[in-house]
Every structure is written in structure tokens, then in C-alpha cells.
Structure 1
Amino acid sequence: MADTKRLPLADGFPVLSELGFILRAPRRTGLFAYGFMFALVALTVFLLFSPSSDSSSPLLSGMVTSSSTADTYRSQLSSFFSFFPNSSPSTATASASPPLPPSPNLSSPPSSYLSPRSENVSQPLVAKNHTPPPDLPSFPGRNHTIATTQPQAPNQTRNSSDPSTPSPPAKNDTVKAVQSVPADNGILSNYTASLLKKHSNNNKTINTNSTVTVPVTGSTQEKVKDRAESLKKCDFFDGQWVKDDSYPLYKPGSCSLIDEQFNCVLNGRPDTDYHKLRWKPKDCDLPRLNGSDMLEMLGGKRLVFVGDSLNRNMWESLVCILRSSAKDQNNVYEVNGRQQFRGEASYSFIFRDYNCTVEFFVSPFLVREWEVPDKDGLKKETLRLDLVGQSCDQYKGADIIVFNTGHWWTHDKTSKGKDYYQEGSHVYGELNVLEAFRKALTTWARWVDANINPVKSLVFFRGYSETHFSGGQWNSGGQCDHEMQPIRNDTYLRQYPPKMVVLERVMKGMRTPVTYLNITRMTDYRKDGHPSIYRKRTPTAAERRSPLMFQDCSHWCLPGVPDAWNEILYAELLVKLNQKGQQGQPQQEKRPQ
């Protein structure tokens, strides 16, 4: 019971009781007690109010600002014990230990994303030098654009879009216009990123995974967008040919990849005016085809031409333009080492420095040529209107596909249509060529709708290229060697081909968007652009005897008219790939090495 007098009371009077006890003690004991009390008070004041590097004492800071993380708790303890000279090294090291794993609670940011310091400054959500998990996209900072649309993880917030939490870029900070992914997943560069890269001050290159690293600025983006929008409103095919001394796009005779059939200069053609014409639409100026820009546009992609020898004409034109602009022409080669491009089913040029290919697949009808036994047991050629060409599976995953057909439908077998067209096991005794053409294009259209992914691939159809035979046809002495100037008067142009009317109707019924390159009218002007008699360096004996009887007034000299087709293709890609860059980049298959 005697101890109950010393128990603490709610009103605080036991303190006075203790002082009375001290006064009644011997004098030496009283002096010791006063000294002890003074030292205790001094130590308490020192701990509470001594300054620190954070402008507040650790204990007082702990009273005012609380923290729920174990790191903050440990840092406060280490600060507290650091005032005592006998604190153990293991205790002091606790403040440098790594943070605890983030909380599994997804409703709040992981603790590892938060700043460990308790400062009154807004911090970005993602800590400096923080690397996101590999399965999450890496988002650029504000005022930057990415070319792909990446899904955002649940409950994940992109802090960089919040103006209240600025995150200035580090030195040499750039944004990847296309996310780095394995090549077989196929996120690839687009024209917007390529053009921005060209105008940037940084020397960046396309790597083997087709990732373009560019600094993106708002002003350059606006220029690209405005240019694409102006071209989007332009009818590329309503225009005229104008003289331009800065043409052609490559020096005549300089491209060893041009087939002899199209290499008019090396075959002895003396005039050069046909090289100096460019196509000028009424509503805009086509951008000059810059090979370097287009190679970057095509970085990591497959551009495929499918069709007849007129598409081979266009393909060779583009290969020459691009090769002349390549960084190292030794890294441009046909995949099988071929130097001539007639007689095989397909050809593919690899631009190794850009990880892209420009390919050509021979399919003059777009449907399959066939053979059936006739009544004598011999094989008879037919055309299967219900089957697409055999090579279709090889290019259905390409990024850009340019189809054509037309000229082979004017040959005797197809134009007459007797015992030639076949569906299933049935061979038509006679079928109108326009109806056969419609059936064939319908088969092609159904295949495109069933096999081409419009999110991934761009599909073009190049229209009919006019011929200019005079006095006969290609196999009956038709000529054009005397033509040195294009047609200037529209009254001399021909009517729009009925087959192209059929084509337009078929395309209107398709689900897959197909861009129609309607080059018929622009080619009709150019009666001066054909090889005519300049189609061979070493004519045969019959050709030497009657040189004017063997002329090519269907194909085009290179450099020449197909270069303009490729400039239109270039402009179309500028517009369409810019749109895809805004909507989300198409996927791409793995490139050949």
C-alpha cells in the first residue's frame, strides 16, 4: 500500500510529490537529482530542435509528416540512432537497404515508383531511370508522338500526360517513333517517322529490327500533317505533263538493273525530251520521289508488285530509284542473285541497310493459268476464272501490294474467248471477254477480302496503261517510233477502257479498301514514251531486215513514265501511312535476311 502513493495521477500532481521527496533527502542526493534532471532536459531539447540537412529534425519531421513505407521508417530510425556514438553499424546501414516489394494493391501506384524523400515537390509517377517491366509499353514524355497505339495496362496511369507533374527529358532524350519489338511481331516504321527523322538534327539510323529512333517535335509533326492533308484532297490523276529540266529521277543508262527491253538509251534511242517531263496534277504538286525518304518509309516492310510485264516495268523503275539512293549499293541485291528479270515466277530485291524488300510476282491475269486434256489427249491451255494465281500465299502478308492486269486480256485467246475460260471442270465454249474479266476480278476480290488484313496491309490496283500502236497491233506491225512528243490536245485521247469500268464496279463491292491508281489517262498522253524500235541492242536477222515491223508500243522506256506512277505511289503512301501512324501501326511479318 505504501507504493500506491507514488502511482501517476491523472491531474499530474505526482511530479510535485517527487520534488518534495527530493528536498527531504540529504543534500548530496539533492544535488545529484538536480544535475540529472538538467541533463535530461538538455538532451531532450537537443534531440527535438537541433538542425539537420532537411531543415527539420528527424523526430520533429516524424511527428509532422508520417510515412507508411518501411523505407521512411528505417530512415527515421537511422537518423535517430546516428546521434548516439555507440549505434551499431548494422543499424546505420538500414537506411541504404533497397525498398520493399511494391504493394499488390493495384488501386495505388507501387511503392517502388514513389520518391523515398518526403519533400513538398510534385514528382513524376515513374522514377528517374526506372525501366518498366518488359510486358508493358514505354510511354514517351509530353509533346512527343509514338507511331503505334499500344494498349494500356489496367489501372496504369501515364503521368507524363498530366501537366501538373512535369518530367523534363534527360540529355539527348529521344522518343522511339515505333516501339522496339521482335521483328516477327512486326511493328514497323511509317512515313511520318521517316520524314521527321530526315529533318531532325540528330544522326539516327534504322537498325536491323526496323526501329526508327527520332526526336519528335510538334512543329515538324504539323508540317507533315499539313502536307499529308493537302495531298489527301488532291486528285493525282487529273493533270498534265510539264517540262522539268531537273528530271529524270536517275541518270539514263545508269541503272544496270533495267531490262534490255526498257533500256532505250543503251539501245540507241537518240532523243531525250521524253526524260524531261513530270506529271503535274491540277490541284497540287506531287512530291518529288526522294529515294532516301522512301527507303526509310519502307524500312522493315515488304512492297510487292503482282501482275503482268507492265507491273514489272513499274517495279524495275522503283528498284532503280531506290538503289540509286541507298547508303551502300552493295547491300542491294536480288535474293537469288539474278541480273535479268524475265522468265521466272518471282523476283525480290533486298535493301539490307533498311531491312526491306521490293518484290515482283508474275501473274498476268491475277487468276490461274491451267491445262486440260483435249479430245485428242493433248494438253490445252485454259484460264481458271475461279482460282487466283499460285503465288498468292507468298505475298498475302506483305505490307504494301500493288496489283494490275489488263494487257493480256487483249490477246487473241482472251479476246475471242473460245474454249479458253474455265470454272471448276467446265470449260466455256465461248465467253465474252468482259464477262470473263469480271469473273476473274471477282475471284481476285474475294481472295483479297478473305486473306488480306486491311489493318496490316495497304492494297493498290494500278489501272490500265494505254498503248500507242499505229497501223497494227503488237503482233501485226504496229508502230510508234516516229512519236517524239506527247499528246497535247485532249480531243485525241481515247475513251475510258470498258475493262476499267468493270474493275471499278468490282472494287466498290469489296470489304477491303483498295486504292485505285487510275493512270490510264496520264499514260494516254505519252505516245512518245515507248521503246518502239529501241527495245534491243542486238536485233535478230528478221528484225534487221524489217526493223519497223517489230516495235514495242506497250511498255515504257526507263527512265520514263513508270517513274511518275511511282511518284504517285509515293504520295499515296505518304498520306496513308501517315493516317495509319495516327490510328495505330499495322503488324508485320519477319523480314528476310
Structure 2
Amino acid sequence: MKFLLHFPLLKGNNIRSKQTLSSKVTILVFSTLVVFMLTTISSSLFSYHSLLKINEYNKEVSIEFDDSLKNETEIMPSTTSVKKCDIFSGEWVPNPEAPYYTNTTCWEIHEHQNCMKFGRPDSEFMKWRWKPNECELPIFNPFQFLEIMRGKSMAFVGDSIGRNHMQSMICLLSRAEWPVDVSYTDEFSFKRWQYSNYNFTMATFWSPYLVRAEQVDSKGGLINVYLDEFDEKWTAQIKEFDYVIINGGQWFLRPMVFYENQKIVGCQYCSWENVTHLTWHNGYKKAFRTSYKAIMSVGKPKGVTILRTYAPSHFENGVWDKGGNCVRTKPFKSNETRLEGYNLELHTIQLEEFKRAEKEATKKGLKFMLLDTTQAMLQRPDGHPNKYGHWPQKNVTISNDCVHWCLPGPIDTWADFLLQTLKVEGVRSTPEKKDFI
């Protein structure tokens, strides 16, 4: 058997122009991108984390909690007073009060997301907030979130964008409290943090395919994906968690061999004799279906599952190693870009599987919630590190990263979405008054 790949050069990628390449060529190009960006970043994170000395950092930086927000939450909003509207359709508007933390006040910003430390010359990308068309979206209040989460636990399951999300949450919550590392292992891909004053735990589980998967060769070019098998790295522990936020997308655009019932049923981007060629669409759909099945069968009774939808990347002018970059400094307006191509296909499949699983979960007394962040993030081509990120080694830059998100940056708005969704859905009734610690 011989594995063959052909990756054509993408000459241009203006997001507002008509699509000139076939969907197959586009996916091939982005497959190459993902192989490099996500694999190399993941393999380096643990070595970096071992170099990060939180105690030493705190000695160098004066860290104070923001007590001013407590007054805003002494009267907790009742769920009936929260206006329901489509918070995921809107525009980015200026927010001069942002950001709400910096790279000198939060130790959970890793080098490859630390855009300000490594010389990004503009700062306006941090000074926007999301304005829904029909209502206002309140800025994230860490005290209010922690109060709602008191005595609860939340797991982030998926790829490095999900981990990016949790790091953003830690930085935003630092205005109220710093967490304690209560991880069961030193492996960075499986971290746990506890907020002692609220008995609230957050954890991250690395599972880019959501189902069981294994690397075939040492170079990471081919992955076996078992579409009908649980990934026990997270499913074996998920019963502990009240909330599970799942995500996935970029990794499904790379070369894969699909298995069902322990047998090969097809492959993507390969030329194997007597093996059916299958696109990522089939694998993506089944992987989400299996992950939802896992949550409903082994998850916590009355638990809450949250789908955080796909976050598009923004490479323009080529792929990552052929001049591709993301140098824009302002958000797109909603009429300047649209969801199309594989971005639209990924998003559509996610919503279809979510709705399918939601019906079944309701019968079992489980709650499913949606964070449809795709459109908002599609409008933020200015929010990526691009070349302003480094590996831990001195003077070692990374290739243009238009996949992950700067911290602080647009990804912080996901906390706004999350808190508002929790309040609207009435996940937990809150007292009208609360004395904060």
C-alpha cells in the first residue's frame, strides 16, 4: 500500500471574492495547514508548561482581584428577567474598556498566543465587543459566573481551540480568583483547575477527533480514526462533570483512515487499493454522533452538554508555508463576509447532529445547549497570532498561526456567550442576593 498526497499551491484567498478553487483542492490545502499547525503546537505545549513557574510569575507581577464587580452581582439576575434573543447574530462594535486582563496579569497565556509580548504593533483587535442585532450581550462577570458554578464542574473536550477557550476563561476569572492546579497527571493535555472559594473545577481533555484515534506513523501524516468507539481518555471520567463543552473541526481536514467495527471502511486523501475513498463529511458526522452517545450513556445524570461550534481560520494570500497570513487589523462587518465552502459544511453537520442528539437527550433528562460562535468568529480575521508568537526557546518564532486566537482577544467573547446562555436557559436558579467572599 502506498500513501499519496498532492498539495497544490493556493494563489490567493480573499474572503470577499468568489471562490475560484474546487472544494476538494481547498480541503487538501487546509489539510496540509492543519497537519503542521495543530500537530506541532500540541507536541510543544507540555514542554512549555513545565517551564512556566506560576509562583515566580506572581512574585514579579502585582496581582489584585477586581472587587468593583462584586457590587454588580450583589443582586443576581433571575432567569425570567433575562431577555431571550439570537445572541449569535450581530456585529462587532468598539469597546474602549477592553481588555479585561493583559499578558502581564495572566500567567495562563502561552507563548504562541502571547501576541503583545512578541511585538504585535496594533492593539485595536482587543477592543471590540459583540453586539447582537436584537439585544445587548453583557460583558462577562467572573463573580456571577463563579456563583452560578458554585459546587459544579465543567470539562472542555476537543482540540487545541477548546484548550485556548479554557485558558481565556482562566484569565477572565482571575479578576475574581486564581485556580489551584489539581491535575491527576503532569500531561498538559489533561489539566484540572479548582476555584477553592466556589468549589468549582474546570478541566481540559485533549481529544481532537472526539472518538478513539491513533497516529499511524511517527511523522503524524496519517491517523486511524475509530468512528464507533469512545475515546476513553475523556469518556471514562466524564461522569464527574456537570457541564461538558465539546468542540472539533480542524483535525478532520487531514489524512485519515476510517474504522468501524474494527475494520477499515474507507480513507481520506490516500490511494490504497481496494479501499473506498471517503471524505471527512462522513467521519465528522459519525464522530459527533458517537461522542454524544458516549455522553448520554456514561455522562453525569442531569448533566449539561454544550456544543461550541467551529471557529474558522483566516489564512489569506496562500497557505501557511507559501505566504499565507492574517494581517488584518479590524473585524469584518456581517455583509463583508459569509460562511461558505468547508466552513459552512462543518457548521451544518455540527448543527444537524446537535439537533438529533438533543431530541434523544431530552427523553433521558439531559440538557443540551448551543454556543453558536461560528459567525462571530468568521468576522474576526484580526484576532489570530499570525507571526506574533514564539516557542519557549529564545528567538524561535512559529509559522503564521491563523488558527488559534490571541489572548486577550476575540475568543474572550466566548465567555460572554457562555454566561448569557447559562442565564437564559436557567441551568441553575440563583438567590436574589449573595454575599461574595
4+ residue runs of structure 1 moved beyond 6 angstroms?
537-542
> Quick one: percent identity of the two aligned structures?
29
Whole-Å separation in 1 of the counterparts to 2:279 and 2:215: 20
Structure 1: where are the runs of 5+ without partners? 1-194, 201-219, 374-378, 415-419, 583-593
Whole-Å separation in 1 of the counterparts to 2:251 and 2:323: 18
Scaled by the length of structure 1, the TM-score of the pair is 0.53
Give the partner amino acid of 1:488. Answer: K
Whole-Å separation in 1 of the counterparts to 2:382 and 2:90: 17
Whole-Å separation in 2 of the counterparts to 1:279 and 1:321: 16
Scaled by the length of structure 2, the TM-score of the pair is 0.71
Map 1:243-322 to 2 at 5 A: 243-322=94-173
| Aligned residue number for residue 136 of structure 1 | none
8 A contact 1:266–1:537 mirrored in 2:
no
Map 1:30-41 to 2 at 5 A: none
| Aligned residue number for residue 405 of structure 1 | 248
Structure 2: where are the runs of 5+ without partners? 1-69, 267-274, 362-366, 431-437
| Aligned residue number for residue 240 of structure 1 | 91
| Aligned residue number for residue 335 of structure 1 | 182
Could you tell me which of 211, 223, 231 is aligned with 1:367?
A: 211
8 A contact 1:530–1:556 mirrored in 2:
yes
8 A contact 1:253–1:265 mirrored in 2:
no
Could you tell me which of 302, 324, 328 is aligned with 1:478?
A: 324
Aligned length: 338
Query: Residues 142-201 of structure 1, C-alpha deviation per residue, up to 9 Å, x if partnerless?
Result: xxxxxxxxxxxxxxxxxxxxxxxxxxxxxxxxxxxxxxxxxxxxxxxxxxxxx999426x
Structure 1 position 315, deviation (Å): 0.4
Whole-Å separation in 1 of the counterparts to 2:427 and 2:193: 27
Whole-Å separation in 2 of the counterparts to 1:244 and 1:381: 43
Give the partner amino acid of 1:472. Answer: G
Give the partner amino acid of 2:206. Answer: V
| Superposition CA RMSD, Å | 2.8
Structure 1 position 371, deviation (Å): 6.0
Map 1:147-158 to 2 at 5 A: none
Whole-Å separation in 1 of the counterparts to 2:189 and 2:392: 26
Structure 1 position 514, deviation (Å): 2.2
Structure 1 position 559, deviation (Å): 0.8
SS at match of 2:78: helix
SS at match of 1:487: coil
Give the partner amino acid of 1:484. Answer: T
Whole-Å separation in 1 of the counterparts to 2:189 and 2:352: 29
| Aligned residue number for residue 401 of structure 2 | 552
Structure 1 position 579, deviation (Å): 5.0
Change (3 A) 1:509 1:493: closer
Whole-Å separation in 2 of the counterparts to 1:297 and 1:579: 9
Structure 1 position 566, deviation (Å): 1.2
8 A contact 2:307–2:354 mirrored in 1:
no
SS at match of 1:265: coil
Give the partner amino acid of 2:157. Answer: V
SS at match of 1:521: helix
Give the partner amino acid of 2:229. Answer: L
Whole-Å separation in 1 of the counterparts to 2:394 and 2:319: 20
| Aligned residue number for residue 488 of structure 1 | 333
8 A contact 2:238–2:298 mirrored in 1:
no
Give the partner amino acid of 1:506. Answer: E
Map 1:173-572 to 2 at 5 A: 198-199=73-74, 224-228=78-82, 230=83, 233-326=84-177, 329=178, 332-336=179-183, 344-370=188-214, 381-391=223-233, 392-411=235-254, 413-414=255-256, 420-427=257-264, 428=266, 429=275, 430-453=277-300, 455=302, 457-474=303-320, 476-480=322-326, 482-488=327-333, 490-495=335-340, 497-510=344-357, 511-512=360-361, 513-536=367-390, 550-572=399-421
Query: Residues 446-486 of structure 1, C-alpha deviation per residue, up to 9 Å, x if partnerless?
Result: 2222223562x111011110111013334554211x21111
| Aligned residue number for residue 376 of structure 1 | none
Whole-Å separation in 2 of the counterparts to 1:236 and 1:553: 25
Which is further off, 273-282 or 245-254? 245-254
Give the partner amino acid of 2:346. Answer: K
Whole-Å separation in 1 of the counterparts to 2:392 and 2:182: 28
SS at match of 1:573: helix
Structure 1 position 489, deviation (Å): 5.4
Give the partner amino acid of 2:249. Answer: G
| Aligned residue number for residue 204 of structure 1 | none
